[in-house]
């Protein structure tokens, strides 16, 4: 057993000692079979949330309505989820009501794909009711039970299939794939936030091209924000070099570049991403477009920051240009100032020097001084700045 699992065993043994069942389940068991790094160990149990809380001293209700309690043990924190069924699906969405059950089998049945429906005991014995191990060996994504019914219950599972195809470099089993093609339109019922999580994972996966090809083939893109009728642009995006994309911002930037999005803010808002993400992408796309035609100039660098410079250079690399991050960052560091506060004069000093009251002239003058210092036209010292200010204001008068 991997270390992450052995660490969790004392916690599970406490549950078992209290007369309940406890198993490793979900993605961690799958990743264990794939010899892939394990992020979070999920534990499922026959104990109800209140029973779990009675067993452990320190617990937090992280998702008690879904049956999940976080146990704070000496070895670490573990999410323990009560076996449950999700019987009351309405309108093709994941139900907000769940029923707790005592049977592992019931719990495994409601899971999405056979590879995700494995359970493992503390002894390392695998419970494989749906041939999940074989599907992992075949590198195949297979719905648990009838795929059509499963996508009717929760249409997000279709996007999950595509993201696992990209993430794990697996194929989608033929009946499961057919059902996605047939019911892709049900994605319209799913919240953008849930789709976005799977979409980003697809974009960051090891075989992005595979995930995207399936996304196009199944027509799921028709039901995603801003992607309707965009098969051609998505195909262009698919043909980018196959390197893994290192972060979410870069993924979005490459996508909106290839889609030729004009209004970044409006387009990205459809995906309900954070304002920070929208800001970075707005600045990033503008800088990328300039940078594809030209060298970094002092004023461009000044209006960027190391993260943005990295983003733009990484994007260039995907677009077949050199990644000049190191050269760009050393130019950035050599800039005489990095923000207006670093100017050796400020509004106060300027007003005192000129004996003028505040007004629009003040900001305008400061910004002109800032521009000239950044461009290396004048030095950043008070004498030079004030004489330049006199000159600027004299011209105006």
Residues at the site binding ligand ATP, with contacts judged by CB under 6 A:
26-27, 39, 42, 94, 111-112, 116, 154, 156-157
Answer yes or no: is 110 a known binding residue.
no
359 among the known binding-site residues?
Answer: no
258 binds, among ligand ATP, Mg ion, none (CB under 5 to 8 A by kind): none
Least Cβ distance, residue 118 to ligand ATP (angstroms): 9
- Decide if 119 contacts 108 (C-beta within 8 A): yes
At how many degrees (to 10) do helices 360-374 and 347-354 cross? 110
363 labeled binding residue = no
3-state secondary structure of 310: helix
Nearer to ligand ATP, 27 or 225 (CB): 27
CA distance 136 to 107: 20
The neighbouring-strand residues paired with 43 are 24, 80
Q: Could you tell which of Mg ion, ligand ATP, none binds residue 162, using a CB distance below 5 to 8 A set by kind?
A: none
What's the half-sphere exposure (Cβ side, CA atoms, 13 Å) at 104? 20
Name the closest residue to ligand ATP (Cβ).
Answer: 27
Is 160 annotated in a binding site? The answer is yes
Please give the C-alpha separations between residue 358 and each of 73, 347, 349, 351, 389, in angstroms, as whole numbers: 61, 8, 11, 7, 14
Instruction: Check the annotation: does 111 bind a ligand.
Output: yes
Q: Which one, 111 or 388, has the nearer CB to ligand ATP?
A: 111
Q: For residues 169 and 163, what is the distance between their CA atoms, to the nearest angstrom?
A: 9
- Minimum distance from residue 116 beta carbon to Mg ion (Å): 9
Q: Which residues bind Mg ion (CB under 5 A)?
A: 27
Contacts of 383-392 spanning 24+ positions with Cβ under 8 A = 385/343, 385/344, 385/345, 386/345, 386/349, 386/350, 386/353, 389/345, 389/350, 389/353, 389/354, 389/365, 390/354, 392/365, 392/368
What is the smallest separation between the CB atom of 62 and ligand ATP, expressed in angstroms?
A: 14
Using the minimum distance from each CB to Mg ion, give the nearer residue, 42 or 128.
42
Find out whether 30 is annotated in a ligand binding site. Answer: yes
Q: How far is the CB of 135 from ligand ATP (least distance, A)?
A: 13
- Residue 27 known to bind ligand: yes
The residue among 128 and 313 lying less far from ligand ATP, judged by its C-beta, is: 128
For residue 184, the minimal CB distance to ligand ATP (Å) is 16
111 vs 208 by CB, closer to ligand ATP:
111
Q: Which residues are annotated as a binding site for ATP?
A: 27, 30, 111, 154, 157, 160, 163
């Amino acid at each position: 057993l991997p270390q992450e699992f052995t660490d969790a065993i004392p916690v599970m043994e406490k549950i078992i000692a209290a007369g309940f069942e406890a198993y490793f389940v979900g993605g961690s068991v799958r990743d264990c079979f794939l010899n892939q790094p394990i992020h979070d160990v999920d534990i499922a149990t026959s104990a109800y949330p209140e029973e779990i809380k009675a067993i452990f001293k320190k617990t937090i209700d992280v998702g008690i309505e879904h049956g999940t309690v976080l146990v704070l043990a000496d070895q670490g924190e573990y999410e323990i989820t009560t076996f449950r069924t999700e019987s009351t699906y309405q309108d093709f969405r994941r139900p907000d009501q769940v029923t707790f059950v005592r049977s592992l089998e019931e719990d495994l049945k409601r899971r999405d794909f056979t590879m995700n429906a494995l359970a493992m005991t503390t002894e390392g014995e695998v419970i494989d009711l749906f041939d999940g191990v074989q599907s992992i060996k075949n590198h195949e994504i297979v719905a648990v039970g009838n795929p059509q019914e499963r996508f009717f219950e929760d249409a997000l599972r279709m996007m999950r299939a595509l993201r696992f195809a990209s993430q794990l470099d697996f194929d989608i089993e033929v009946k499961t794939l057919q059902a996605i093609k047939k019911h892709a339109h049900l994605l319209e019922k799913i919240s953008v936030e849930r789709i976005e999580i799977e979409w980003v994972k697809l974009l960051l996966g090891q075989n992005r091209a595979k995930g995207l090809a399936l996304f196009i083939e199944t027509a799921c893109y028709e039901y995603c924000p801003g992607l309707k009728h965009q098969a051609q642009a998505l195909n262009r995006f698919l043909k980018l070099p196959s390197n893994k994309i290192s972060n979410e911002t870069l993924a979005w930037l490459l996508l909106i570049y290839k889609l030729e999005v004009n209004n970044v803010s409006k387009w990205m808002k459809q995906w309900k991403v954070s304002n920070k993400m929208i800001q970075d992408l707005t600045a990033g796309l503008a800088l990328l477009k300039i940078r594809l035609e030209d060298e970094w100039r002092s004023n461009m660098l000044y209006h960027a920051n190391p993260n943005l410079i990295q983003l733009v250079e990484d994007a260039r690399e995907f677009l077949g240009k050199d990644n000049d991050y190191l050269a760009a960052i050393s130019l950035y560091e050599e800039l005489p100032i990095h923000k207006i506060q670093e100017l050796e004069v400020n509004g106060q000093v300027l007003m005192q020097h000129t004996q003028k009251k505040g007004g629009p002239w003040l900001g305008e003058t400061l910004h002109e001084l800032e521009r000239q210092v950044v461009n290396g036209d004048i030095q950043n010292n008070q004498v030079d700045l004030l004489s330049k200010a006199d000159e600027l204001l004299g011209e105006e008068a």
